[in-house]
């Protein structure tokens, strides 16, 4: 097994209430160590969407990793290790309807395909 750079992202168009979520799941045979999680939205006008980042699927069985009262242009830093099959989810609420929200994670990935 080796280690490589991890950079994954996902986006969602917020619904008519300004809500939406993005989930990224660790593939079989990999372990992710997330060092930064960046959240953004395209619109820069109020109201800002609140965003909570979970380890696991919200709200049942999930642990809060970070939160943002603006839901935009925020970065959470730390070390969160996720094993194969685990999920990291960003959940936005109360933003601009039809806005696009994105979560980008960066860190390291360990697995068979990395040297």
Separation of first and last alpha carbons in the chain: 7
User: Average pLDDT over the chain, rounded to whole?
Assistant: 89
Q: What is the CATH number of the domain that holds 104?
A: 2.60.120.230
pTM here is: 0.90
Q: Which domain holds residue 58?
A: 2-111
For residue 47, pLDDT beyond 80: no
Q: Is the pLDDT of residue 98 over 90?
A: yes
Pairwise CA distance, residues 106 & 49, whole Å: 22
Q: Is the predicted pLDDT of residue 85 greater than 90, yes or no?
A: yes
pLDDT digits (tens, 9 = 90+) for 9-32: 999 999 999 999 999 999 999 999
Q: Tally the domains of the chain.
A: 1
Q: What are the counts of helices (DSSP H) followed by strands (DSSP E) for the chain?
A: 0, 8
Degrees to nearest 5, angle at CA 109 with 73 and 69 = 20
């Amino acid at each position: 097994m080796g280690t490589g750079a991890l950079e994954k992202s996902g986006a969602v168009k917020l619904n008519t209430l300004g809500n939406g979520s993005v989930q990224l799941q660790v593939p079989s045979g990999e372990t992710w160590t997330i060092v930064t999680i960046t959240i953004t939205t395209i619109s820069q006008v109020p109201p800002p969407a609140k965003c909570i980042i979970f380890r696991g699927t919200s709200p049942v069985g999930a642990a809060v990793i970070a939160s943002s009262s603006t839901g935009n242009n925020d970065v959470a830093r730390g070390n969160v290790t996720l094993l194969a099959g685990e999920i990291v989810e960003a959940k936005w609420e109360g933003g601009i309807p039809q806005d696009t929200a994105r979560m980008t994670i960066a860190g390291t990935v360990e697995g068979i395909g990395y040297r």
